[in-house]
Structure 1
Amino acid sequence: MQTRARVGVALTALAALLAGVGAPSTAHAQTAPAPAASAVSIQTALPAPVSAWSAPASDGSRPGWSTRNASVLRAPAAVVAPALASGASRLRVVTTRVVGGQPVVSTATVPAAQAVATVDRAQDAPGAVAVSVDTRAQATGYNDPIRPQQWSLSRLGGETFHGRVSTAGVTVAVVDTGVDGGHPDLRGVLVPGAQFLEPSAGGTGGTGATDPNGHGTHVAGIIAAVADNRVGVAGMAPGTRIMPVRVLDGHGEGWTSDIARGVIHAANHGATVINLSLGSDQPDVTLDKAVQYAVAKGVVVVAAGGNERLAGNRASYPAAYANVIGVAATTSSSRAAAYSNTGRYIDVAAPGDGIVSTYPTRLIRSGYARMSGTSMATPLVAATVAGLRAARPSLTVAQVQSLLASTATDLGVRGRDDTYGAGLVDANRALCTLRVCPAVLTWSGVSSWTPAAGTPATGVVTARTATGDVLAGAPVRVCYAPAHLGRTTCSDRRSDAAGRVATTFTARSITGVSVNYLGTSAATASTTHVTYQTRSAVTTRTGPRSLAVSVAPRQATVLLDRYDAYRGTWTQVRSATTSVAGAAAFTRLPAGTYRLRTPRSSTLAAIVTGAVSVR
């Protein structure tokens, strides 16, 4: 005899209401009691509406675009250095000038050997406010207005992930409360789905593209909301096709038999991944059989780990079934959410607290809501799996599970645990295990970013693959561009056995240092550029109502500030021109606390000394 257990969505919606949007619908009313034969309960609260925020209005102050940028004052070689490090044979020098009250941008393409001279001339052009070397750019930050509120996407590197793999050929079935097919941020995302409900809740039939509850629409948006469309939010894997399979009613409840039908339908109609943001504490053989059928057909099934940690913490199904990826929820501080279930069935964790996504506009006027729960963490893992399957369609279910576990960021106690499973899912690391990604270059061992002139300046760049393996013996190009020389010097080298490349020079002026990893079969090319802000050494000597200063190398102007203890501010009171030897003296000073400053020059950084007492 078939078991028919009521199942509720694994959802905890917690949030503070944001101002400026319509009130939520009462569709999330108290749930109806489950049949006594196999009772389950759910945790459901109203979602919080979300609106896009806008930047504050300008205060009308002088426009910054019309003032000269430091690039007009820097040594031409320092401006050109990062581009020369790339090894390009021709460069585009860009000049921005103020003409007729507006910025005018012009470019000049020249051989690399002529770039420094071209920049030098551009800096002297009338009205020049910025000079640079043109660079290629690609979209890295989505323009969706609510994107800044999507901390989960930032944590998992959503833009980078999407930039590395297209999921346009992958279908994820969202077996849930349905998906709002008319939502503006899901336009063109849905493929035909299905509906499996008892007659009183709508019966069987339809395409699943209606959602009287909102939960399924929220899940779908986390996976595949359209990105860079200047509307709402962005999905973790935009471009993914969503198959809406409605198996839960307007209260977020349904029969396990209907969920089983939905899983079978998804597996038979082209789904690569099935997202199950729902659960029951009662195992059901019918649903288990359906899940195993999908797995046998090569479909990856991802399910919510449950939100009942504080209410018994019983295992949640289908997450606890064999061959299913069970997902726990983390907060923005990368800690387990208080409600997130623990257990041996938890495989990985993902952000699930305060997640902003799409919501039916008939329920919330803005069309967006913030919700929390393992229901929200699960689609982030499903989206990650979509990317992995897009990168390598031949991956088996077991290989996907192993890849997610081996590349996850360990959280909690060392190694696998029942709270986080293998750890926080790392979409980019998992993807870069399957395909070659740019090298990751990190700096360490820097003695000072503001070295005194005449002292050694050191730094070490370590080259690693995106998965953390060191790139030993890798080809690199190191370039130095000291401002006082007006030219760039480069040398080709190899990283050591630990993937390290040392950079060492004697600081004489502001110096740009570029390290360009030239690329191998293990990682593609990447570049890191830093600037050492070399400064003069300043010594002071106080006397009765006097202060003598020596600046080496010489800076022409020295400024004297006095501290106003009443206002708590520094105020410039004197200036002096230094001698050829860099010396200056201030006399007849009132007793007080002073400091010295030198303005930035074309070759040396500005200086601000510590406080000096004059009596």
Structure 2
Amino acid sequence: MGETTHHRRPWTVAAATAMAVGVIVGGIVGPLGSGTAWAQASGPGERPSVDHGVAADHSWTAPDHTVTAAPSELLDDALADAASGTGDTAPVNDRTAVRVATWRVDGEGKPDIDTTTTTVAAAPAAIAAAQEVPGVLAVAVDARTELLADVTEERSRVLPLTAVSGAEQNTTVDPLTGYQWDMASLAVDAAATTTRGAGVTVAVIDSGVDGTHPELAGRVLPGIDYVDPANAGATAGWADQNGHGTHVGGVVAAARGNDVGIAGEADKVTILPLRVLDANGAGYISDAASAVVAAVDRGAGVINLSLGSPTSSSVLANAMAYAQSRGVLVVAASGNGRSYGSPTSYPAAYPSVLAVASIGPAGAVSPFSTAGSYVDLAAPGEQILSTVPGGYQFMSGTSMAAPHVTAAAALWLSIHPGALGTAAGAVLTSTARDAGPAGRDNDYGFGVLTLASIPVSGAPGAVSSTLSMVVDRSVVTAGGQAIVLAIGRRSDGSAPAGQLVTITTVTRGVTSTRVVTLDGNGMAAAPVPIPATTQISASWSLSVATMPVVVFSSPALKVKRSKAAVKVTLKQAQGQLVRLQQKKDGRWVVAAKAKAKRATLSTRWHTAPGTYRVAVSSVPGQVGLVTSSWRVR
């Protein structure tokens, strides 16, 4: 029948549809040349609120139609896609290997993937056998596509580690930085003086990352090699026979100030290499999905996917949903198909993914960069000099644009310990510099990446600044939304007007993120979905606040007022602290309080003339829920 491999999936991804498609890498190689800073974009336009909350799909537990479909039908679909260019780049014939993937549930309720490699002639029998596997959810014929690269003579020119000389020695520290127009345009030197990405793990799902390169040595973890599983152990995922993955890794994390080569954007991050592409830049979509799940489970805060396919796959879509449900940011190249009519590229087009287009040194969208309604940001992607095994190389593509955004997210996360990667994505889209038509457009998305959200070391008020929150129960809507009021103060008591605050909610495992701007009083309000027990956190460049809040669906909290008394009834109340607050000298003080020891609390308090409200909290000293105020005369 052929060679069979077995991979355990630690998460329940959804059942695959009839066919898992292959992977196209979004990198092309362009000419050598020095760059200039891009032209500043026009003024900011209107931007819709950013909400990256997407629930994971657990429909994987039901077998799909591929379990009962005729084996010949599944194979014919694969052959038709291959012949049309949807799957393989060349038609499949009897001498071409076919990989049949079986998705099943094991005895512990976890999904397993078995892959069998066989010939076209033997494929129907292999598919039929896969359909009989106990617990099978889906059977798929994996397809492959190839690296989107312009393999020109320039690609073969590698600037070696030992031969950086003459005009290439532009500086005495990191001598090739003079060629890095991308880092200069982003003002990375200023932003990187903070934490430089320390404490953040970035997963690079690509052709491997060379952990022996002097620019990356000591910061590349043992990963996973899906192309050659025999490459295991401490250097798994390091074998990069193409160079693309190491190039991406260098944009993110090449060492700064080491007197060698270039400088990366976030050089203190740790790289998790997950190799899914071979020497030709080709790979299987099932491996890419496996790598996303592995990256999440191994603690990555940001995942970079400088690859794509014109065909959507439920396997990959659910891997994206899994990452989103865990608060991990996925950044993907938008695609290099502009000259082909900008076909939609996946995973970039999935709603939970931050899709990145490319710009050149002049700030204009690159001639190859795919346009689409799913584009979120644009970043430098032309003539990008970065690391490859044995030296350095210029490459161009949305593949090169994506890691600039990935690194920016890592910088933000490193100064917000405990914050979610998805929050970083929302901040970056909100601080982008508008370009093209005012507001969001299909070329630049919300605009060109800036590092405005990354404070320079020693920024005013960076020490002992506070951020607090109040959830206003009085404005809960029928849809289960309430208003969160964020209140920020610097250490000197001043209000940080214009400061961006990211509000993140986690409800039943689903993460949602919004970004608000503090006004002249250091306050901002945002509606958030809180239909049940919800963890709410807020973060900014100066401080982080986290508040567990229990929000009860109406009519769990009832407040009945009379002229001289108020009766409060609270259901699902055990452990909650209920306080009657009175406003005195502009401040709310506790007039009476009660702690619920049972599921229902009912209490009655007398009220003298004054202004009152009722507050409920599970944490003493915090206001979790508040009613609107009323006056007793």
TM-score (norm 2): 0.50
Report the more deviating stretch, 393-402 or 282-291.
393-402
Matches within 5 A, 1:411-422: 411-422=435-446
Describe the shift of the 1:345–1:181 C-alpha distance in structure 2 as closer, same or farther (beyond 3 A).
Answer: same
Contact 1:142 1:234 in 2 (8 A): no
Q: State the Cα distance separating 1:436 from its structure 2 match.
A: 7.5
Contact 2:209 2:249 in 1 (8 A): yes
Indicate which of 375, 378, 381 corresponds to 2:399: 375
Contact 2:453 2:541 in 1 (8 A): no
Residues 263-319 of structure 1 show CA distances to partners (whole Å, capped at 9, x for unaligned) of: 111111111110000000000110111111112111110000000110131111000
- Structure 1: how far apart are the matches of 2:436 and 2:165? 35
Indicate which of 37, 40, 50 corresponds to 2:159: 50
Indicate which of 254, 257, 264 corresponds to 1:228: 257
Contact 1:6 1:255 in 2 (8 A): yes
Aligned AA (2:316): L
Describe the shift of the 1:333–1:358 C-alpha distance in structure 2 as closer, same or farther (beyond 3 A).
Answer: same
- Structure 1: how far apart are the matches of 2:338 and 2:248? 21
- Structure 2: how far apart are the matches of 1:313 and 1:287? 21
SS of the residue corresponding to residue 399 of structure 1 reads helix
Describe the shift of the 1:56–1:237 C-alpha distance in structure 2 as closer, same or farther (beyond 3 A).
Answer: closer
Q: State the Cα distance separating 1:182 from its structure 2 match.
A: 1.4
Which residue is equivalent to 1:503?
A: none
Matches within 5 A, 1:126-525: 143-197=173-227, 207-361=236-390, 367-427=391-451, 429-432=452-455, 437=459
Aligned AA (1:280): S
Q: State the Cα distance separating 1:54 from its structure 2 match.
A: 3.3
SS of the residue corresponding to residue 172 of structure 1 reads strand
Q: State the Cα distance separating 1:44 from its structure 2 match.
A: 1.3
Contact 1:189 1:242 in 2 (8 A): yes
Describe the shift of the 1:16–1:398 C-alpha distance in structure 2 as closer, same or farther (beyond 3 A).
Answer: closer
Q: State the Cα distance separating 1:243 from its structure 2 match.
A: 0.6
SS of the residue corresponding to residue 271 of structure 1 reads coil
- Structure 1: how far apart are the matches of 2:428 and 2:168? 41
Q: State the Cα distance separating 1:413 from its structure 2 match.
A: 0.9
- Structure 1: how far apart are the matches of 2:389 and 2:244? 9
Describe the shift of the 1:142–1:401 C-alpha distance in structure 2 as closer, same or farther (beyond 3 A).
Answer: farther
- Structure 2: how far apart are the matches of 1:233 and 1:412? 31
Aligned AA (2:459): C
Contact 2:33 2:383 in 1 (8 A): no
Which residue is equivalent to 1:8?
A: 24
SS of the residue corresponding to residue 23 of structure 2 reads strand
SS of the residue corresponding to residue 406 of structure 2 reads helix
Aligned AA (2:185): R
SS of the residue corresponding to residue 323 of structure 2 reads helix
Describe the shift of the 1:271–1:4 C-alpha distance in structure 2 as closer, same or farther (beyond 3 A).
Answer: same
Which residue is equivalent to 1:67?
A: none
- Structure 2: how far apart are the matches of 1:522 and 1:225? 24
SS of the residue corresponding to residue 205 of structure 2 reads strand
- Structure 2: how far apart are the matches of 1:183 and 1:302? 24
Describe the shift of the 1:426–1:262 C-alpha distance in structure 2 as closer, same or farther (beyond 3 A).
Answer: same
Which residue is equivalent to 1:461?
A: none
Aligned AA (2:24): G
Residues 576-604 of structure 1 show CA distances to partners (whole Å, capped at 9, x for unaligned) of: xxxxxxxxxxxxxxxxxxxxxxxxxxxxx
Indicate which of 33, 36, 49 corresponds to 2:89: 33
SS of the residue corresponding to residue 340 of structure 2 reads coil
Matches within 5 A, 1:571-582: none
Contact 2:411 2:454 in 1 (8 A): yes
- Structure 2: how far apart are the matches of 1:161 and 1:432? 6
Describe the shift of the 1:56–1:348 C-alpha distance in structure 2 as closer, same or farther (beyond 3 A).
Answer: closer
SS of the residue corresponding to residue 409 of structure 2 reads helix
Contact 1:195 1:262 in 2 (8 A): no
SS of the residue corresponding to residue 6 of structure 1 reads coil
- Structure 2: how far apart are the matches of 1:522 and 1:309? 37
SS of the residue corresponding to residue 379 of structure 2 reads strand
SS of the residue corresponding to residue 178 of structure 2 reads helix
Number of residue pairs the alignment of both structures matches: 344
Contact 2:207 2:245 in 1 (8 A): yes
SS of the residue corresponding to residue 416 of structure 1 reads coil
- Structure 2: how far apart are the matches of 1:375 and 1:184? 22
- Structure 1: how far apart are the matches of 2:422 and 2:263? 29
Structure 1 unaligned blocks of 5 or more: 19-30, 58-140, 362-366, 440-464, 471-496, 498-520, 524-615
SS of the residue corresponding to residue 326 of structure 1 reads strand
Contact 1:273 1:385 in 2 (8 A): yes
SS of the residue corresponding to residue 243 of structure 1 reads strand
- Structure 1: how far apart are the matches of 2:361 and 2:159? 18
Which residue is equivalent to 2:595?
A: none
Contact 2:416 2:541 in 1 (8 A): no
Residues 368-404 of structure 1 show CA distances to partners (whole Å, capped at 9, x for unaligned) of: 0000000001001000000111111343454323211
Q: State the Cα distance separating 1:195 from its structure 2 match.
A: 1.2
Identity across matched positions, percent: 39
Contact 1:50 1:370 in 2 (8 A): no
- Structure 2: how far apart are the matches of 1:244 and 1:430? 27
SS of the residue corresponding to residue 168 of structure 1 reads coil
Larger radius of gyration: 1
Q: State the Cα distance separating 1:236 from its structure 2 match.
A: 0.4
Describe the shift of the 1:250–1:413 C-alpha distance in structure 2 as closer, same or farther (beyond 3 A).
Answer: same
Describe the shift of the 1:34–1:164 C-alpha distance in structure 2 as closer, same or farther (beyond 3 A).
Answer: farther
Describe the shift of the 1:148–1:374 C-alpha distance in structure 2 as closer, same or farther (beyond 3 A).
Answer: same
Residues 518-570 of structure 1 show CA distances to partners (whole Å, capped at 9, x for unaligned) of: xxx999xxxxxxxxxxxxxxxxxxxxxxxxxxxxxxxxxxxxxxxxxxxxxxx
SS of the residue corresponding to residue 191 of structure 1 reads coil
Describe the shift of the 1:42–1:190 C-alpha distance in structure 2 as closer, same or farther (beyond 3 A).
Answer: closer
Aligned AA (1:333): A
Contact 1:34 1:41 in 2 (8 A): no
Describe the shift of the 1:370–1:395 C-alpha distance in structure 2 as closer, same or farther (beyond 3 A).
Answer: same
- Structure 2: how far apart are the matches of 1:194 and 1:217? 15
Which residue is equivalent to 2:11?
A: none
Contact 1:196 1:204 in 2 (8 A): no
TM-score (norm 1): 0.52
- Structure 2: how far apart are the matches of 1:6 and 1:14? 24
- Structure 2: how far apart are the matches of 1:198 and 1:400? 33
Q: State the Cα distance separating 1:33 from its structure 2 match.
A: 3.2
Aligned AA (1:54): G
- Structure 2: how far apart are the matches of 1:214 and 1:169? 26
- Structure 2: how far apart are the matches of 1:142 and 1:418? 41
SS of the residue corresponding to residue 338 of structure 2 reads coil
Q: State the Cα distance separating 1:468 from its structure 2 match.
A: 10
